[in-house]
Structure 1
Amino acid sequence: MHTSTLYIPTADGRADAFAAVPDGDRRYPGVLMYPDGFGIRPVLREMACELAGHGYYVLVPNVFYRHGPTPVVDLPAYIGAEARPAVFAQLMPLIEAHTADRTVRDADAYLRFLAARPEVGGDAVAVTGYCIGGLLAVRTAAAHPGTVAALAAFHAPVGAAGPDVLAKITAEVYFGHAATDVTPEALGELHRTLDAAGVGHLSEIYPGTVHGFTMADTDAFDPAALQAHWDRLLALLDRSLGSREW
C-alpha cells in the first residue's frame, strides 16, 4: 500500500489531503472520501487504506483547510463522552462556516485533482462520506452528475441537502443511517424525494446504532455495523466502478 500527503489547489487556497493506493504502476478507479467532522486522523487513514486495498485510489481531503492544515483541531486518541464538549466547541464554528457554496467550489478542485492523478483510471469516480462528510458527498454528487457514478453516506444528515439538490443526483446511492439519527417519518420523506427524482438508491437504518458508528476511535463505534458498512460500500463500488485495473 502506498500512502502520501498531497496538496490540492482550490479557489480559496490549498487543501492538504491523505491518499492511499495499492502498490504498483497500475491505475485504479478513484474514490473521494470525505471524513467526519473530526477530520483526518489515524482511524480515517486506516479506513482509506482498507478501501484502497480493494482496488481503488482513495483521496481524503482536509475539508477545513481554510482554518489550517491537519490536524485542524487537536483530538484525544479516544473521543469519548468526556472529551466531546470541548472538541465540539472548537469544531462547530468550522462546520457552520463550511457553506454549500464552499462545498461545491472545493468539490470542483478535489475531483479535478483526482482525475489528474496518474494512478487513477476511468472517467467515473465514487464519493463517500461520514457524518458531515456524508452531506458534502451528497452535494458533490449533485454538482457533478456526469462524473460521480456512486454515492455513499453513513450516519450523515443527507436530508439537509434539500430535495432540489437530491433531485440532481444521477449516481447510484447508498445511505446507511444510525438508528438515533433519523425518525421513520424523516426516512420515509427522504425515500419519497429520491423516488420522485428517479434516483436509484438503497437507504436503511443500522439497528441499535448511534451517530458515528463507523468510527473506531469514538464511543459510538459498533464493530458489526462497521463491517456491514464495508459490505454495502464495496458492493456499491463494484457495481458502479468495478474494482479493476488499467
Structure 2
Amino acid sequence: MTMPVAFSTLDVRTADGNADSHLARPDDGGPHPGVLFYMDAYGLRPYLREMMEAIAANGFTVLAPNVFYRSGRAPVLPMPESTDPVGHAKFFAALGPMRAAFTPDKALADAQTYLDWLSAAEFVAPGPVAVTGYCMGGRLALRTAGAFGNRIAAAASFHGGRLAVDDQPDSPHHAAAGITAELWIAHASQDDSMPPEQIARLDKALDAAHVRYTSVVYPNTRHGFTMRDTPVFDQAAYDRHLADLLALLRRAQQAR
C-alpha cells in the first residue's frame, strides 16, 4: 500500500549559490530513508515531480536538485513539445553551454552538499542514502557512488550515457573501486551514447572492483525511455524501471 505524499520546493545552499530543488516525502511527519534524485538534461519539471512522488509514496524522502542552478532556476530552458523531435534537438543545442559550465569537479562538490543536506534533514532517517539518475543523471549517480563510498547504500542509472569512456577521466567506470553501494544499471537497447562495447567495459570494471551490481538492457527501448514528456517514452519500460528501482531501494533499506 502506498502512502500520501507531501511535496515542496526549496533552495539548497551550495558554495556557488542556491540550487532550487524539489522534495517529495511521505506525509506522515516521520523520517524515511533518503534518495538523491538526479534529473535528466531537460531539468526539473512537472513530470519529474510525478516520478519523485511515485518513489516517495513507497516510503522514501526524495530530493531532486536543479543541477544547472548556476545557469538559472528551473526551468532553465522551456520544455519542447513531447511530439516535436526537432524542438528537442534545438533544446539540446541551446543547453550545450550550460552543460559545459557544469564541470566534473563542480558536480562532485554539489553532490557532497546534497548528501550533507539529506543527512541533516528532519524527514530523512539516519544512515546512508540511495541515488537514482536518468540520462546524464545516471552518470552522476554512478560518479556519486564512486566518490562517496559508504555514504551511498544503493545507486541506480536508467538510460545513462557515456558511463565507460576510457579517455575521459571522469567516466564512472574509472571510479568503480570506490563503490560500496549495490548498483542497478538499466540500459536502452538503442542508445548511441551507451553502445554494447561500453556496457561490456563498465561491467568489466565493476567486476574487477567486486561491486554488487545488475546490468540489464531493457529491450526495444531508446535513450530516455522513462521520460513521458519526450518522444522516446515507453510505458512498459517505465513501469519496469519503477519496479526495479523500488526493489533496489527496499534491499538497501533492509540492510540499514
TM-score, normalised to structure 2, is 0.91
Q: What is the CA-CA distance between 1:185 and the residue it aligns to? A: 2.5
For residue 122 of structure 1, the aligned residue among 115, 119, 126 is 126
- Counterparts of 2:255 and 2:27 in 1: how far apart (Å)? 15
Question: What pairs up with 1:1-150 in 2 under 5 angstroms?
Answer: 1-78=5-82, 80-150=84-154
Q: What is the CA-CA distance between 1:188 and the residue it aligns to? A: 1.6
- Counterparts of 2:232 and 2:240 in 1: how far apart (Å)? 15
Q: What is the CA-CA distance between 1:117 and the residue it aligns to? A: 0.9
Q: What is the CA-CA distance between 1:96 and the residue it aligns to? A: 2.3
**1:207 corresponds to which residue?**
219
Q: Does 1:188 align with 2:192?
A: no
Question: In percent, how many aligned pairs have the same letter?
Answer: 46
User: Does the CA-based 8 Å contact 2:142-2:172 persist in structure 1?
Assistant: no
- Counterparts of 1:19 and 1:6 in 2: how far apart (Å)? 7
User: Does the CA-based 8 Å contact 1:56-1:243 persist in structure 2?
Assistant: no
Deviation string, structure 1 residues 210-231 (Cα, Å, up to 9, x no partner): 0100000011000000011011
Q: What is the CA-CA distance between 1:77 and the residue it aligns to? A: 4.6
Deviation string, structure 1 residues 116-173 (Cα, Å, up to 9, x no partner): 1101102110001000011111111111112101000000022242432122111000
For residue 185 of structure 2, the aligned residue among 175, 192, 207 is 175
User: Does the CA-based 8 Å contact 1:124-1:149 persist in structure 2?
Assistant: yes
For residue 159 of structure 1, the aligned residue among 160, 164, 173 is 164
SS in 1 for 2:190: coil
User: Does the CA-based 8 Å contact 2:33-2:126 persist in structure 1?
Assistant: yes
- Counterparts of 2:203 and 2:80 in 1: how far apart (Å)? 37
User: Does the CA-based 8 Å contact 2:40-2:137 persist in structure 1?
Assistant: yes
Q: CA RMSD in A?
A: 1.5
Deviation string, structure 1 residues 104-125 (Cα, Å, up to 9, x no partner): 1000111111111101102110
- Counterparts of 2:246 and 2:198 in 1: how far apart (Å)? 26
**2:168 corresponds to which residue?**
none
SS in 1 for 2:154: strand
Deviation string, structure 1 residues 196-243 (Cα, Å, up to 9, x no partner): 011110001111100100000011000000011011101110001249
**1:241 corresponds to which residue?**
253
User: Does the CA-based 8 Å contact 1:29-1:243 persist in structure 2?
Assistant: no
- Counterparts of 1:77 and 1:243 in 2: how far apart (Å)? 42
User: Does the CA-based 8 Å contact 1:131-1:154 persist in structure 2?
Assistant: yes
**Structure 1: unaligned runs, 5 residues or longer:** none
SS in 1 for 2:183: strand
